[in-house]
Structure 1
Amino acid sequence: MTTAPADATVRVRYFAGARAAAGIPEETIRLAAGATVRDLVAELGSRHGDGLTRVLTACSFLLDGISVRDHGITLVDGSGVDVLPPFAGG
């Protein structure tokens, strides 16, 4: 008997301008098995609208504390994704 891959529940934390655009500091998202960081970003934009979608285009992402360069990385159940807009200052 084969089992279907499990959906992924991902904790998303927003920082700075991303937090302002989303209107919340964090949320939990359930995605279909095999979903990628790219899929997550699309889901976040559809949930929170154009303001967050614009911010997301400039954001970097940490997946379980590690910088994501490839948005095609598959998310697994229990992952944590931090959404980090560009920071200014010095």
Structure 2
Amino acid sequence: MADPHSISVRYFAAAADVSGCRSEVVAISPDNTLAELVAVLVGRYGPEMERVLSVSAFLVGDELTRDVSRASGSAVDILPPFAGG
């Protein structure tokens, strides 16, 4: 069962490279916004993660979004562009 004070984050492509992992649990409430999650991840992984997240989409439940003002929910997949360019 998920902790009500944390969210599960899965990283793909460049986000996994920068974080050095495929998934982790982040200690923020599922009611926090994606912007707040982004701030935590940038604080943890630095400017390279900020660059990756600035071009990423977020899968929250069944919704693919770039709207960082929405709630993160209990699980977020971070999906950077998969092709170079």
Shift in CA distance, 31/80, structure 1 to aligned 2, threshold 3 Å: same
Determine which structure has more spread, i.e. the larger CA radius of gyration.
1
Q: 1:64 aligns with which of 50, 61, 64?
A: 61
Q: What is the alpha-carbon distance in structure 1 between the residues aligned to residue 79 and residue 30 of structure 2? A: 25
1:73 to 2:70 alignment: yes
Report if the CA contact (8 A) 2:6-2:30 is conserved: no
Q: Aligned to 1:31, what secondary structure does the other structure show? A: coil
TM-score (norm 1): 0.78
CA RMSD of aligned residues (A): 1.8
Structure 1 residue 19: deviation in Å? 0.3
Q: Deviations over 1:12-66 (max 9, x none)?
A: 0000111001111111011157411110011111011111111111111001232
Instruction: Detail structure 1 runs of 4+ shifted over 6 Å in the superposition.
Output: none
1:87 to 2:82 alignment: yes
Gaps of 5+ in 1: 1-6
Residue in structure 2 matched with residue 4 of structure 1 by the alignment: none
Equivalenced residue count is 81
Structure 1 residue 69: deviation in Å? 3.6
Gaps of 5+ in 2: none
Residue in structure 1 matched with residue 10 of structure 2 by the alignment: 13
